Amino acid sequence: MKFSLLNILSWMMLLTMSQNLYGAEVMIVRSEGKDFEAFAKLLKQEMGADLDYGETVIDRDTEAKDLYNDHIKASKLVILLDNVAVAKAKELVAQDKKLPPMVATMALNLKKELDDIEGIAGVGYEVSGFTIVSELNKIIKKKIRKVKVLYRKSSSEELISDAKRYLKRENIELVTVNVEKGDQDDINDEVAKEVENASDSADALWVMLDSKLINKKTFVKVWIQESKKQSIPFLCGVEKFSLPPINMCAFSAYPNASGLAAHVSDMALSILDGDASPEDYGVEYMVSNDKVLNKEILERLNIKIKNRKVDGLRIVGED
């Protein structure tokens, strides 16, 4: 049987249409980057090889309607990695598109982003302030009892409220300072003032990852420089902030990729199997994290280590 070029092209078009019609069981929508690529691979391994996966890389210029027609419409479940993917999904929700259930992660402020959004569950990517402080207290001799944090009410109110409630259960006071006043220059001024006075009102400073608070004007001149002047440890959820050459945070608790993949997998498979809906889950906090302690900073602050046998702990500067 002979095939003309037209026959071949028609067959290829039919195959493409068929794939779009039936879609992948699980479609992963993610941003460009090695971290997202590696996590997508890890997630597929965790969910199992018996599922049919699709994967597409998008950016801010990707049209939501094209994403829907080409990748989402015929899928049974969608995994959203990063805030860009979440934003595109929210556009489709606003357009009243008929969407498959979705699970989001590797995105910041998911609780706020998905507030009142039906059909999308999530696992938060930030390690909560409660977790950061309580994990550090397992390691050091003198416990932290009063923590200061700078935040913006418009973006982090719920995260702060949850942290305050959970810390109170462990008799730890969270001193909150909303620096959202005026324009960006005003915010920068508030950040500088509050960080410079951090040691006056707390045992530690929780550094929230927020581009309005940590930016080109404040990162080095305020956060890094003051971390070396203050008499209290800076705590955060970003590994590199505790590592050379930055050496800003005495302690960081940050996402454990394998644990996060397992968490997302359990949620996704339960939804895919019909045992639960996205609304049953909402947005959950990540429960698995790794930790890094900067020994040089602790020694400068005269903070003693009592327990080195904490799961996922790495001590930088220790032979």
Whole-number pLDDT of residue 164: 95
What is each CA distance from 46 to 15, 95, 254, 284, in whole angstroms? 29, 32, 20, 19
Dist CA 130 CA 134 (whole Å): 6
User: pTM here?
Assistant: 0.83
Dist CA 67 CA 58 (whole Å): 8
Q: What is the third-level CATH fold of 5-126+257-284? A: Rossmann fold (3.40.50)
Pick out the chain residues at pLDDT < 70. 1-23, 319
Whole-number pLDDT of residue 1: 47
Whole-number pLDDT of residue 108: 87
**What is the per-residue pLDDT across 117-154, written as a single tens digit (0 to 9) for each?**
999 999 999 898 999 999 999 999 999 999 999 999 99
Whole-number pLDDT of residue 30: 96
Element (H, E) at 255: strand 251-255
Residue ranges per domain, the chain? 5-126+257-284, 129-254+289-316
CATH class of 129-254+289-316: alpha beta
Signed CA dihedral, 126, 127, 130, 132: sign only? negative
Q: Do domains 5-126+257-284 and 129-254+289-316 have the same CATH topology?
A: yes
Whole-number pLDDT of residue 118: 92
